[in-house]
Amino acid sequence: MRRSVAHVFVDDLDRPALSDKDVHHLARVLRLRVGELVSASDGRGGYRLCEWAGPAAAGAGRHLSPLESPTFEAQPAPALTVAFALTKGEHPALAVQQLTEAGADRILVMVTDRCVARWDTSGSGRQMDRLREVARLAAMQSRRCWLPSVEGPVEFSKLVGAGAGGGPGAAAGAGIALGVPDGLPLTLATPTVLIGPEGGWTDGELSAVPNHVGLGPHVLRAETAALAAGVLLGALRAHLVAPVPPRLL
């Protein structure tokens, strides 16, 4: 994929058709020249190298001409999840963009006791659709072939009760850690990290999850803390940094 000058997502790798929005992006924003290489992914690990045929290519789905057979990239393990408390304005979109670039597999918008921002029922679906589009564009930019899932808003109590995998019957808090200023070093034993609001966690929330991890010596904004968690988890999974030995914890 690094040979390509652009990366896109398509529904079918056998016939990689682009949306009008992506055709405009390649032609008008990136200003690709006919014959330049574009990698196309199905967002589920599959991808193939194609050639850009230009915006005026005849027939629907003719903008990309496949050059190679599809290749499959295994999903990295363990799956990394970062949940962040709902914040105001553009901060959720910034968090989703950065977490996608950092390699998070599951991104959750979370509602905690001290969240100031709230989405009404009628608007939450629209907001989540927008965040998923933010994730798609960020995944295009960062050349991902696995699209992250973007979910929410979910209540803290339901998230903790479901466990790290989100499945029924999971032990409460299993594989989950809360980001706190004085927490222990992060490890892949807790591949799900929850980031609270800038008002902090309540005593009840702190006691609901026994694992507490630190993300640095300073108090961070929610979107900054989410990014720090995503980067640390991704670096640990990619073996770019070594976990702190247990004897030093």
User: Tell me: the pLDDT tens digits for 101-151?
Assistant: 999 999 999 999 999 888 887 778 999 999 999 999 999 999 999 999 999
CA dihedral for 44, 136, 109, 77, sign (positive or negative)? positive
Please answer whether residues 97 and 227 qualify as being in contact, where contact means their C-beta atoms are separated by less than 8 angstroms: no
Q: What are phi and psi of 223, to 5 degrees?
A: -70, -30
User: What domains, with CATH codes, occur in the chain?
Assistant: 6-72 (2.40.240.20), 81-248 (3.40.1280.10)
User: Tell me: the pLDDT tens digits for 1-50?
Assistant: 778 999 999 999 999 999 999 999 999 999 999 999 999 999 999 999 99
Average pLDDT score over the chain? 90
Question: In percent, how much of the chain has pLDDT > 70?
Answer: 92
Tell me the pTM.
0.90
Per-residue pLDDT, 163: 58
Distance set, CA 65 to CA 9, 17, 68, 71 (Å): 14, 10, 9, 16
